[in-house]
Structure formats: C-alpha cells, structure tokens
Amino acid sequence: MLGLPMRALAYITAIALLLLGEAEGGLLRVGKPIPWTNALPHLNYVREHGVSQFINRYREVRDICNDELKWGDEVEYGIFKVDHGAKKVRVALRAAEVREALEAREAAHSYRAEGCAWHPEYGAWMLEGTPRAPFRGFTTDLLRVERSMRLRRARILAALAPDEIAPTVTAFPRFGAGDDFCAPPALPCPGGPVAESAYVPDAVINPHPRFAALTANIRARRGAKVDIRVPLYRDGCTPEWLAHGGGTAAAAAADAPYIHADAMAFGMGCCCLQLTFQARDVAESRYMYDQLAVLSPIMLALSAATPMFRGRLADTDVRWDVISASVDDRTPAERGIATGGDGDERMAGRGVRQQPKSRYASISTFIHQCQRKGAAAAESGCRAQVLKQYNDIECPVDAASFDALVAAGVDEPLARHVAHLFTRDPLVVFEGRIAELDDAAEVEHFENIQSTNWQTVRWKPPPPRTSPNDPHIGWRTEFRSLEVQLTDFENAAFVVFIVLVTRVILAFDLNLYMPLSKVDANMRRAHARDGVLREKFWFRRCIDPPGAAGESPQEEGLDCCAEMTILEILMGQNGGGGYPGLIPLVYAYLDYIGTDAATFERVEAYLELLRRRASGEVMTAAAWMRRFVTRHPAYCGDSVVSDEVAYDLMLAARDVGEGRRAAPELLGPEVIEPVLPEGAFDVPLASARIDAAARRELIDRYAWRRSPSSSAAARRQETSSSNFSSTFERYDSDDAAAECEPFTWGA
C-alpha cells in the first residue's frame, strides 16, 4: 500500500502527457529562463534544432497504427474570495496552494477507479482539472464525462476556504477594474516590472518562472505592451457612447468606444474547455485536425460565455480575440503597420516578415494528405488538388524549415504546417537546455514553438518515452475553441457532442472541407453579441465524400458552402436530400452502433441542450450573464459591472453550477443535482487514539442528542445557509440546503 501514491503520481504524469502535453502557457519545465536580450542569440539554434527534432521523431513514429480511441477533457477553474460584508469578490491568488493540497489527496486516493489530475494555469488564481485516466472508446465512457466533471468540482470545493468559491466562469467580471480585485492585496496594484500593466499587478501571474518570462518576452519582442481592445456594449446611459456622437456609419465604426487592456493576464486569465483525442494513426489525426478546424468557430459561438471585461459589458460574447491580442508578440513590421528595415537577423523572419495573425488564432493551412493506392490513386490526386484550393489564405512559412522537412521526406502539406509554426520565435529559453539537448532523443525545442502556437486545433505527435514503463501515447488532435460553461451538464454536453461528431465523420466518411477564408469569416462572426442566433455561418452544403453524390472531385470548387444558421448546421435544412445536420447524423450513428438505453437517454439530453441553445429556446451563458447584469437593481444602464453586481453574479454562477439554483432559461428542463464537498474524498475509518480533552468534547457534543445524524445535517444546513448572502434573485437557502443530499461517487 505504501507504494501506491508514488505509482499513482507517475501514472497521473503520464496521463497528463496524453491529455495535455503542456499548460496553456506552454510546455512547463523547472529551470531558469534566459532574459529576452540574452536569449536572442539562441533563437535561430532553437528553431533549427526544433525542426531537426521533429524530423527525427516523425521518422520514429509515423508508422504507428491501429491505436485505440482514448480521449479526455480539460476544464479550467478560477478561485475567488468572497467578502459578504462589502459585497465584493476578488481573485484568490492561492491556486498553487490549492493544487498542492488536491494533488496530495489524489495520491492518497489512487486506489479509486475514478480520479482527477490537477495542473497549473497562467493565472495565480487558476488551475486546470482533467480525468486522471483517459476515457476510452465505448458508449459507457460517454456517461463518465459528467461524473468526472462533478467529481472535479466537488474536490475543488473540498479544498477551498469557507469564504472561497470556484464557479466555472470564463472571465472574472472585475479583473483589472480598480485597484482592489486581488486577495491577498497585491502591491503595487496595478504595475510591476514583468507586465508593466496599467491595470493589473504582476502578482496575478502564476509563480512558475515560465509564465513571467512569457509575459515579459512577448512585450519585449513586440516592442511595446500588448494592446487589447474589446468593443464596448452600448446601453442607454453608457458615457462613452453618449460622448461618441453621430457621424457616418464608417466613422462611427472606426472610432467606436472599446474596453482597453494591456497585459497577457487578460487573455490567458480566461478559462476554457478543451478536449484531446488519440487517433488510430497519423493520417486520421491529420484528417480530424482539418475537420475540427472547420467546426471550431461554430462551437465557439454556441458555447459563448464571455460578455464582460474589466468591469464593463462588452459588445462581444466570446474570449478568443482577447486572448489572441494578449499574446500578440508581432513587431510593428510583422503587423504591417511600419517598415522594419533590415530587421534583426536573430529573430524569425528578421522580425519584419509580415504575419497576418497572432500566435493565438485560427489555423492557416489544412494538413491532411490523401494516400490511396490502386484505382483510388487518381481520385486521391484530384482530392488533394481540391484541398489546395481550400488553403486560400496567407500562410507564411519559414523557407529553410520547409526545405529541410521536404528533403527529409515529410510530405508537402505537413511540411507547410510545421514550417508555418516555425515562423515564430521561441518565447522562453532555459539555461542549460539549448545545445545540451540530444536532437535524436528529445523534442523540447520543437515543443517550445509548437506549444506556443495556440490555434483553434492543435496537432500533437507522440512524445518520446522517458521510461520503458511509460504508457504508449499515439497521434493526438486537440480541440481548443470551446468556452467553459457554468454547469458540468453543459460542459459534458459539448465534450460528448464533439467526441460523437468525430466518430460520425470517420464512420460515415464525411467531408467538412471549405475555404479557410470562410472559416476565418466564421471566427469573426462567432464574436458577435448573440452571434449564435443573429449570425449565419459558412458551412458545406454537401458533406458526403467526393463522388458519393455523383460529382467528381474536379467539380468541387470554392462554392461548395453556403451561409446557414447554427440551428441549420446542427439540425439540417428543410427538403429531402439536402444537408442532414450534425445532430441527426449523431442519432444515426448511435443507432448504427447499437447504443445502450442509458447512454442514449443521457446523450439525447445533451443534444437537446445544444438544439435548444441554437434555436434560442435557452440562453448561452453570455446572454444569461448579460441579462443578469442589466436587470440587476444596482445596474445604472451605463455598461458598468459594479462590485455589487459582480458579487451577486458570481454567487449566482456558483449556485447554478453547484445545483443550488434552478436556471431553466439556461438549461431547459435539466435539473442539476447538488454538488457538495462532502463525499468528494473518502473518509478513512481511523483508529488513531484521540486525546482525552478532544474525546470528552466529542462525547459531550453528542451524548444528549437523540440522533447524531440530525446534528450533522444541521451543521451542513448552517454552513450552506451562511453562503447565501446575495439579496438579488436569491431564494430560501434554508429550504434548499435541507433538500440537498451528498452526491455519492462510484468506485
């Protein structure tokens, strides 16, 4: 038994590699980062040897095949401290402490079949939770997702202080507003040498040295602080809009008021929901990369959950562009707003090669390559030509990297993808980890750049094994655009839907390809306020494989798609023989594989949630939160989210997520069973001797009571009631707490 915790920790680490590979801030390593000016002479070395490492690794693993489906989700959480007396919520800068406590308790519970793994995130108030072991390719695994998410939420609650909460919100509404939004208080606030922000202190950054180095080096490479501008929501008394005046529509749009932010923390401080799949082989991983890239803006709009920043209501619903701007390290010349002269030969592209996108963006090239034999070879060649047509946007590549990859036998589509990644510089270089690395055995230089290209999907080669006992890890594809939802039911619905769509695409041999210019247009539309209902999105009209509907691959052109509502994309268009819709295809697939009744019933609830959201029958989290703010008695119609409003909103979000508060306008008929910290971890039947004073106190406490269980219930009710202090839209907490029963987690 004594060896179990250490084996559990080793297994958790290995599984984390399968599901994650790196934190959102990039591959984490213990070491001392080299300051940017001192790192400049090493950048070319890291890029060149990163390509060499990829080539060596690709040769070793390109023939891996017949891997089973393994997959997992990642939920990011924020921890917040509540001051009920002042009606104020602050970010609690102690995620590292909470994570350490959780890891210790997970190790002590390694005997349980279900468990959690915890990982650091950029913010000092943030952490990430994943299942300890990946899910597998069975229908019953679809039911494990929500149970795992509920377990993670319960275990976080068990690790919090009595005055802390952890609602799954994308962004804290008051982050960067004023000088009192951190606990403990951070000095100076704002300011500090790392971010040099006018709004947030350096104390909000995770203490791991990589995160501070990322922040400082993005600013140093760019030559200025990042510049984030979020459109400001226009309400009747919004002062900026009242002062804006009229003028032409073009002038008004160009000079529209915005919410300003200036630090990486505003973007990387957003929580999201991601999932990673292990593919059968390299070809399947590349095909799923392409297909999921097309779906990413659709799912971004459908999961919209970010309607406010820096204490103001935004005129957008999602986080993506904020994060994109928060890590935009492009020089003025790379952004096309200045001439760079000869540039700096130590930087990628000398720092003057134009880059149309930030490092955090949608993809810029499809990577699948058709590989068929015999009679299908001619069709494969035509189809590959069609895919080249779909790569219709600018995709800068590093010429030297591309040539090296092709010379090493990497096919052109994949070589273009990797060479595009290597148009970026490594953002953090560690002392003693440059020339000391063995390119034949390590991939750290490759991952340094790969992990800081944050795109809507990420293609992930198998990592090298560090020990013969490490589990096998295959080719993976990561889906990254989803916004985190308020409840585990919603988060599970999105995860299960994406998992099933990948199976539908493979089983039915579907084709979602369309021009990347249309995908980028969809990304812009996904940001619109209520975009899920107000916008139309480009999507394929015929998703059958080429030739299945009578057309040849040569006939397929750039007019293959049409504008559809998200409801049409999910449910199909009217008329026989037309586009069938993703949800009907999922039902067809579930029927085809003979799904058991229990799984089908729960999956149907998930699909119904997505359908209702796309139809407007229920609200997105963004719409729900915006309505909460604008209907609050303390809201003044000025687009300001005050401390009091944010306090009530955060408690309401907590209550919805933990099953304390009904939200039919958000969830439809679904009722969230209460999530309580009791039962999150097993309680041992301890036999250690109790000292005399404690024994007497315990005996005196219970000896006169008729029912000890009623005493425990009363204490639970008292604790629950003390947390219900919101006066806005609150319900009777005593009755609610009395009805809550602990959720029992199965082994």
Phi and psi torsions of 634, nearest 5°: -90, -5
> Averaging pLDDT over each range in 80-89, 371-380, 680-689, which range is the top one?
80-89
Whether residue 184 contacts residue 103, with contact meaning beta carbons closer than 8 Å, is answered with: no
Dist. CA 70–CA 342, nearest whole Å:
48
Q: Does domain 4-171+266-593 have CATH number 3.40.50.300?
A: no
Angle at alpha carbon of residue 399, lines to 221 and 287, rounded to 5°: 95
- The band of 725, judged by pLDDT with boundaries at 50, 70 and 90, is very low
The answer, yes or no, to whether residue 2 has pLDDT greater than 60, is: no
The answer, yes or no, to whether residue 17 has pLDDT greater than 70, is: no
Dist. CA 516–CA 208, nearest whole Å:
37
How much is the pLDDT for 125? 99
Least confident stretch, 13-27, 673-687, 688-702: 13-27
Least confident stretch, 119-123, 542-546, 559-563, 711-715: 711-715
The predicted model gives 421-441 an average pLDDT of 97
The answer, yes or no, to whether residue 730 has pLDDT greater than 70, is: no
Least confident stretch, 5-19, 243-257, 608-622: 5-19
Dist. CA 543–CA 581, nearest whole Å:
10
The answer, yes or no, to whether residue 715 has pLDDT greater than 70, is: no
- The band of 576, judged by pLDDT with boundaries at 50, 70 and 90, is low
The answer, yes or no, to whether residue 653 has pLDDT greater than 60, is: yes
The half-sphere exposure of 151 on its side-chain side, counting CA atoms within 13 A, is 25
- The band of 101, judged by pLDDT with boundaries at 50, 70 and 90, is very high
How much is the pLDDT for 684? 86
The answer, yes or no, to whether residue 739 has pLDDT greater than 50, is: no
Whether residue 657 contacts residue 675, with contact meaning beta carbons closer than 8 Å, is answered with: yes
Residue ranges of the chain that CATH labels 3.30.590.50: 4-171+266-593
How much is the pLDDT for 448? 97
Which is it for the CA torsion 651, 657, 662, 663, positive or negative? positive
Angle at alpha carbon of residue 409, lines to 407 and 414, rounded to 5°: 100
SS3 percent helix, strand, coil of the chain, rounded to 5, is: 45, 10, 45
Dist. CA 578–CA 605, nearest whole Å:
26
How much is the pLDDT for 1? 34
- The pair of structure tokens assigned to 722 is 């003390």
- The band of 54, judged by pLDDT with boundaries at 50, 70 and 90, is very high
The answer, yes or no, to whether residue 227 has pLDDT greater than 60, is: yes
How much is the pLDDT for 746? 33
pLDDT tens digits, 148-178: 999 999 999 999 999 999 999 999 999 999 9
> Averaging pLDDT over each range in 335-344, 566-575, 667-676, which range is the top one?
667-676
How much is the pLDDT for 187? 82
What pTM does this model have? 0.90
Report which DSSP code applies to 572.
-
How remote is the C-alpha of 507 from its chain's centroid? 27
Angle at alpha carbon of residue 109, lines to 105 and 112, rounded to 5°: 145
Percent of the chain with pLDDT over 90: 78
The predicted model gives 462-481 an average pLDDT of 93
- Block residue for tokens 């005399």: 692
Task: Identify the three-state secondary structure at position 639.
Answer: coil
Name the more confident of 355 and 188. 355
Whether residue 78 contacts residue 470, with contact meaning beta carbons closer than 8 Å, is answered with: no
- The band of 26, judged by pLDDT with boundaries at 50, 70 and 90, is low
Name the more confident of 390 and 467. 390
- The band of 735, judged by pLDDT with boundaries at 50, 70 and 90, is very low
Give the residue from 671, 85, 582 showing the smallest Cα distance to 299: 582
Percent of the chain with pLDDT over 70: 85
Mean pLDDT of the chain: 89
